[in-house]
């Protein structure tokens, strides 16, 4: 079976991992960096993703999208009160948020697909093979629409998403693999935009989730915002400038707030410096860890209620938890660790890299699916109750929260008016009594043969698969025939829309790949030129003149090719240069070895 990679599609950063000799490993980029910032920017040269896109946050804020995960599976009304924080323009079509980038609008799955594609390319370049299958992680508390949106993103990126897996449980797989623990563990996963808590029982390779809880709208971002609000208020007070009128400066303030928060995890105080608009100089202040913590405490307190809920739902008390595992960058904050320790009554385990453990776990799950790992099995649960609307606007629960998945429930429907030909079914997710307080997932119309009231018998099966995604099928019990159901998602892309996006993405893929090859060839050419220049300077005197001349000619030819647009020409000139400089490099190596044997440093002899 072709290789399946594991992907952590994060709010702030994303990673891709693979299995090597029974151990999960993160795919690094050419500079050894493991994380791809989840940022997409529209530049004059097209769309860019990751580190280079992150630079555009302050340069080009209206055309740089970050934290897109917050919008997955959502409508505009869901994010109304945070719109002011985002410099890019959000609209809505068909219940799905659209993000404006230049002349075009993109759905959150499309933006996420760009990040996924970047990860796919990175893995392909590193592993030297084509990658078409992936396991992608989502917050455990993601609802059906958010999971479906993530799956759509994978499809648009040209990936077959073999499994959507919950982040805290992915982390537990990586943790379990390393520690070979038995017992009850709690995973506290506090990331950039989401919070999850899962309680698991680990026994003989089975990872059974007992309960999960969380908040898909609570993360380190919220702490950053409190800092931003503080700085803006102070700048307004001191300088009379409203930073929120300047999107580029807003982004600079946000990034400075994030960096300061990170520094304060190791230091007790730090200096803040923010360039002011209109050449008004800089705003500077000192920020102490105490000040940060007194701001952040409200956010951190909000993470504890879901912990208590999860423990209760698991039928346990904090003292039954053997080990607490921390996941997500926000768990680096000392106050978070203190509060978690106080709640569970034991110091949390934080030896795993909280940024990488989720992607590593996704790779483990990918290995299970491809048949590599057979001794581990994850039994996860659905985080939210699933039900349908019944008379009086009340939700009737069919599958309760924390039910092990796959889970199914059957309901028999009939008519109560003679000749009625359809029954409308409204599917909901949530824990509240009334329909209006729960999340609408989808609606569909059940076709019923026109018969006297009460005679038709249609059995509808609601099945939550191992991805936590709902599938609905119906059977006419009188004829035994199954009928297809067209489910219209309340907050999702329709199948035809996803298909069109996949087509679009293929159409542009050829162009994208061309552009990417050129960029990569140029970067490689640059580093080769630099290295060769250095060799010439250091060891040019050790070879004959003809040789250095040949090298210099090859160098100049490469630099001409580099300014062109043909990646193949660049690669060809690079090969020529490498050939021309081969002898020089050997001589240089021998020389330094010789000097090394005499116990002297290169710098001392030259």
Partner 1 sequence: MVRAPCPFLLMDNDQPSTHSDRRRQLQMARSMCWHCQSEVTGEYFCERCVKVQPVSKETDYFTCLGFPRRLTLDPKKLEAKFYELSRTFHPDFYQTKSTDEQAISLSNAAVLNTAYRTLRDPIQRAEYLLALETGSVKDIRTSPPADLFEEILELQDTLEEYRASDRGSDQGHRLHTTLQTEQEALERRKVEMESQLRRLFADWDKLQDAGAATSSAKAERDRILKQMRELLSHRTYINNIVNDLAATIA
Select the residue interacting with partner 1 from 32, 128, 281, 371 (CB under 8 A).
371
Q: Least distance from C-beta 388 to partner 1, angstroms? A: 7
> Is residue 367 flagged as an active site residue?
no
- Which of 144, 152, 167, 196 is labelled catalytic? 167
Select the residue interacting with partner 1 from 111, 389, 438, 439 (CB under 8 A).
389
100 is a site residue for partner 1 (CB under 8 A): no
State how far the Cα of 183 lies from the Cα of 103, in Å rounded to an integer. Answer: 54
Asked if 522 and 566 count as a contact pair (C-beta separation under 8 A), the reply is no
544 is a site residue for partner 1 (CB under 8 A): no
Choices 60-68, 201-209, 262-270, 515-523; region in contact with partner 1 by CB under 8 A: 201-209
Q: Which is nearer to partner 1, 53 or 360 (CB)?
A: 360
State how far the Cα of 54 lies from the Cα of 15, in Å rounded to an integer. Answer: 16
Residue 382 buriedness (CB in 10 A; 0-12 / 13-18 / 19+): buried
Choices 15-23, 70-78, 417-425, 551-559; region in contact with partner 1 by CB under 8 A: 417-425
- Which of 118, 144, 152, 189 is labelled catalytic? 189
State how far the Cα of 32 lies from the Cα of 481, in Å rounded to an integer. Answer: 57
> Is residue 167 flagged as an active site residue?
yes
424 is a site residue for partner 1 (CB under 8 A): yes
CA distances from 236 to 239, 241, 242, 310, 501 (A): 6, 5, 5, 42, 44
State how far the Cα of 309 lies from the Cα of 213, in Å rounded to an integer. Answer: 7
Select the residue interacting with partner 1 from 34, 43, 265, 403 (CB under 8 A).
403
Select the residue interacting with partner 1 from 369, 441, 543, 561 (CB under 8 A).
369
Query: Could you check whether the bond before residue 406 is cis, i.e. omega within 30 degrees of 0?
Result: yes
One symbol per residue from 474 to 503: x for binding partner 1 (CB under 8 A), - otherwise; what is it?
A: ---x--x-----------------------
Q: Least distance from C-beta 461 to partner 1, angstroms? A: 9
Q: Which is nearer to partner 1, 453 or 523 (CB)?
A: 453
Site for partner 1 in 426-455 (CB under 8 A): 445-446
Select the residue interacting with partner 1 from 174, 368, 501, 558 (CB under 8 A).
368
Choices 140-148, 178-186, 389-397, 520-528; region in contact with partner 1 by CB under 8 A: 389-397
Among the listed residues 267, 189, 275, 214, the one whose alpha carbon sits nearest the alpha carbon of residue 239: 275
State how far the Cα of 273 lies from the Cα of 268, in Å rounded to an integer. Answer: 17
State how far the Cα of 309 lies from the Cα of 376, in Å rounded to an integer. Answer: 27
Choices 200-208, 222-230, 300-308, 483-491; region in contact with partner 1 by CB under 8 A: 200-208
- Which of 54, 69, 120, 261 is labelled catalytic? 69
State how far the Cα of 493 lies from the Cα of 509, in Å rounded to an integer. Answer: 21
Number of Cβ within a 10 Å radius of residue 502: 16
Residues binding partner 1: what is the number (CB under 8 A)?
50
State how far the Cα of 114 lies from the Cα of 123, in Å rounded to an integer. Answer: 14
Site for partner 1 in 148-167 (CB under 8 A): 162-163
CA distances from 324 to 196, 276, 360, 365, 480 (A): 13, 43, 18, 21, 50
228 is a site residue for partner 1 (CB under 8 A): no
> Is residue 203 flagged as an active site residue?
no
Number of residues that this document lists for the chain: 606
One symbol per residue from 316 to 355: x for binding partner 1 (CB under 8 A), - otherwise; what is it?
A: ----------------------------------------
Q: Which is nearer to partner 1, 412 or 513 (CB)?
A: 412
Spell out the residues 6+ positions from residue 568 whose beta carbon is closer than 8 angstroms to its own.
none
State how far the Cα of 135 lies from the Cα of 137, in Å rounded to an integer. Answer: 7
Q: SS3 sequence, 44-110?
A: CCEEEECHHHHCHHHHCHHHEEECHHHHCCCCHHHHHHHHHHCCCEEEEECCEEEEEECCEEECHHH
Strands 422-429 and 386-390 come out as antiparallel
Q: Which is nearer to partner 1, 43 or 408 (CB)?
A: 408
> Is residue 69 flagged as an active site residue?
yes
Site for partner 1 in 248-307 (CB under 8 A): none
The residues annotated with a catalytic role in the active site are 8, 69, 167, 189
Residues that bind partner 1 (CB under 8 A): 1, 162-163, 203-204, 206, 208, 365, 368-371, 374, 377-379, 388-391, 396, 403-417, 420, 422-425, 445-446, 457, 459, 463, 465-466, 477, 480
């Amino acid at each position: 079976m072709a290789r399946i990679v594991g992907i952590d599609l994060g709010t702030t950063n994303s990673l891709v991992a693979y299995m090597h000799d029974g151990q999960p490993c993160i795919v690094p980029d050419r500079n050894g960096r493991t994380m791809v910032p989840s940022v997409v920017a529209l530049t004059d040269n097209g769309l860019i993703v990751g580190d280079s896109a992150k630079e555009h946050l302050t340069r080009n804020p209206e055309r740089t999208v970050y934290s897109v995960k917050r919008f997955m599976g959502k409508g505009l009304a869901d994010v109304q009160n945070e719109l002011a924080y985002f410099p890019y323009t959000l609209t809505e079509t068909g219940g799905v948020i659209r993000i404006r980038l230049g002349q075009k609008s993109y759905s959150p799955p499309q933006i996420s697909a760009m990040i996924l594609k970047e990860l796919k390319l990175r893995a392909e370049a590193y592993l030297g093979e084509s990658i078409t299958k992936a396991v992608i992680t989502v917050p455990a508390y993601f609802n059906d629409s958010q999971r479906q949106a993530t799956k759509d993103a994978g499809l648009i990126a040209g990936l077959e998403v073999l499994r959507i897996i919950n982040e805290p449980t992915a982390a537990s797989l990586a943790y379990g693999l390393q520690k070979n623990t038995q017992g009850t563990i709690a995973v506290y996963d506090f990331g950039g935009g989401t919070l999850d808590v899962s309680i698991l029982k680990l026994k003989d390779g089975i990872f059974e989730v007992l309960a999960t809880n969380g908040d898909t709208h609570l993360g380190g971002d919220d702490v950053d915002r409190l800092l931003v609000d503080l700085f803006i208020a102070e700048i307004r007070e001191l300088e009379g400038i409203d930073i929120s009128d300047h999107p580029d400066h807003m982004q600079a303030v946000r990034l400075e707030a994030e960096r300061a928060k990170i520094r304060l995890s190791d230091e007790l105080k730090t200096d803040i410096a923010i360039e002011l608009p209109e050449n008004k100089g800089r705003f500077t202040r000192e920020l102490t860890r105490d000040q940060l913590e007194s701001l952040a405490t409200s956010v951190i307190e909000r993470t504890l209620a879901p912990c208590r809920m999860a423990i209760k739902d698991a039928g346990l008390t904090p003292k039954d938890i053997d080990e607490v595992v921390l996941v997500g960058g926000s768990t680096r904050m000392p106050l978070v660790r203190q509060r978690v320790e106080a709640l569970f009554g034991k110091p949390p385990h934080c030896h795993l890299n909280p940024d990488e453990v989720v992607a590593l776990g996704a790779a483990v799950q990918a290995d299970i699916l491809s048949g590599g790992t057979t001794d581990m099995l994850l039994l996860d649960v659905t985080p939210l109750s699933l039900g349908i609307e019944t008379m009086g606007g009340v939700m009737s629960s069919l599958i309760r929260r924390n039910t092990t998945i796959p889970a199914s429930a059957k309901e028999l429907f009939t008519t109560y008016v003679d000749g009625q030909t359809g029954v409308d079914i409204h599917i909901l997710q949530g824990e509240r009594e009334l329909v209006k307080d729960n999340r609408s997932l989808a609606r569909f119309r059940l076709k019923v043969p026109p018969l006297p009231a009460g005679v038709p018998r249609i059995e509808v099966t609601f099945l939550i698969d191992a991805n936590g995604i709902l599938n609905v099928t119906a059977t006419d019990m009188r004829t035994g025939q199954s009928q297809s159901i067209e489910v219209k998602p309340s907050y999702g892309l329709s199948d035809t829309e996803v298909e069109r996006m996949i087509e679009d993405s293929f159409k542009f893929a050829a162009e994208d790949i061309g552009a990417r090859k050129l960029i990569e060839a140029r970067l490689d050419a640059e580093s080769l030129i630099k290295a060769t220049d250095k060799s010439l300077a250091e060891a040019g005197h050790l070879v004959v003149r003809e040789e250095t001349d040949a090298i210099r000619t090859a160098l100049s030819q490469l630099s001409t090719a580099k300014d062109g647009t043909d990646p193949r020409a660049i690669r060809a000139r690079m090969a020529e240069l490498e050939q021309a400089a081969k002898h020089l490099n050997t001589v240089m190596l021998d020389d330094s070895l010789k000097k090394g044997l005499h116990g002297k440093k290169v710098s001392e002899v030259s």
